[in-house]
Structure 1
Amino acid sequence: MHEKTAWADPATRRAWRRTAVFRCAAVLGWMAGFPAWLFAVVMTPVWLLVVWMPVLFVGIWYALLAAVAASSLMGMRRVLRVYPWQAGIAEVRSKKNGSTQFLVPNPERPEKTVGLGFGGVIGTGRHFWVRAVKSGQVTTAWFAGDPRYLGVMATPGPRNLLQVAQREATDSRMSPRKRGVSPGARALARAAGARVGED
């Protein structure tokens, strides 16, 4: 990759737009399921509520997962506007708890890797990254970002965009990472939307 940032690549912008359409459609689809559920409840015998209530709870959970995925779109674009793609540097493996782990070289100590995770939550087992890694279909990935803070994973192309982050880079209840990170790297991470603390 020769572009200064991943976003400068037209293929990245197309991949982001495809991701945005899919995620927004998923949210609308799950929301549209509620009137269908209500219609089914009204049109069937009362005793069938023992079936329809679990369906409602599952629908709400998947709608929340879809909403969270859609809410990450702007953060993903922000990362892609700051960092370039690094092709094939991320090792991908499946963990016993059903989640996916990405191992990315530390930018300032390339001999060491930093782990980023995805999945392990009820409802994420059918996500592309969990399925593809578990089956061995995907073993390496493109990465844009700083693994000590946050980034975007992709399969070559780029395709199948996924935002990943260290918890302390996004959770205000935790102290942001400062140790072992240069001022320049922290400035880039801040521009990408990570919590890096005060200088």
Structure 2
Amino acid sequence: MVCVGAFYAMLLIGQWSMWFLLPIAMYALYRTFLQREYIASAVQARRILRVYPWQVLRTPESGIGQIPGAKLGDVWLAFPDPDRPERDVPIILHGHAGSVWWRRRLGRGYDNEKTRQVAEVWFAGDPRFAGVIAVPGPRRLFPLLPFAAPQSCAGGEKQASPEAVKRARRAGVRVAP
């Protein structure tokens, strides 16, 4: 709406206003397209939360790089495999706008105020397919969608039980037939 209003104001006021209002209109247009991604990830997170219950994990294993599929600066979290609880499945938090807060707190290897903020992580989902992570409180809900964790989703359906694949499909995750 701001974008349309800024363009309309440019037409009414004249050419001199273009230099002032054009950056505002461009930023509003950028945010409009970005908002579509936020809404899509929120819908997917809601689907996942309807199927999978929350699990509370105390200081989950995390790191920077050092796992297959991770680049040098990629931060990852490891969650227990639902079919084999003794085995962990790492999920890479690839860089995009929502992951900045998480990436600054995970994988550091030393104790400070920021790393204590993620001492307790809530996880809902199946780490082989998709999931949602959060910290206690009303903020910092972060969906771990298949595009955010390609190494765990690429072969996840091969290592999962048929019940786990059906459950992932109910949560709205696209799984190979």
Scaled by the length of structure 1, what TM-score is found? 0.61
CA distance in 2, matches of 1:49, 1:94: 45
Q: What's the Cα RMSD here? A: 3.6
The 5-angstrom pairing of residues 39-188 of structure 1 reads 39-42=8-11, 46-47=15-16, 49-50=18-19, 52-88=21-57, 90=60, 101-109=76-84, 110-118=86-94, 120-121=95-96, 124=97, 127=98, 129-131=99-101, 133-134=103-104, 136=114, 138-140=117-119, 141-157=121-137, 159-167=139-147, 177-188=156-167
Which letter maps to 1:193? G
- What amino acid is the match of 2:80? P
Alpha-carbon distance between aligned partners in 2 of 1:94 and 1:88, rounded to the nearest angstrom: 19
SS across alignment from 2:173: coil
* Identical residues among aligned pairs (%): 30
How many matched pairs? 158
Q: In the aligned structure 2, how far is the partner of 1:185 from the partner of 1:111?
A: 16
Kindly provide the CA deviation profile for residues 73-129 of structure 1, in whole angstroms up to 9, marking residues without a partner as x.
3322221111110112655668899876443233234433321425x24xx2xx5x5
Structure-2 change in CA distance of 1:102 and 1:37 (3 Å): farther
* TM-score, reference length from structure 2: 0.67
Deviation at 1:195, TM superposition (A): 1.6
Q: Give the greater-gyration-radius structure (CA).
A: 2
Q: Is the 8 A contact 2:2 2:25 kept in 1?
A: no
CA spacing shift, 1:44–1:60, aligned 2, 3 Å = same
**Are positions 1:196 and 2:165 aligned together?**
no
Structure 2, unmatched stretches of 5+, are: 66-70, 106-113
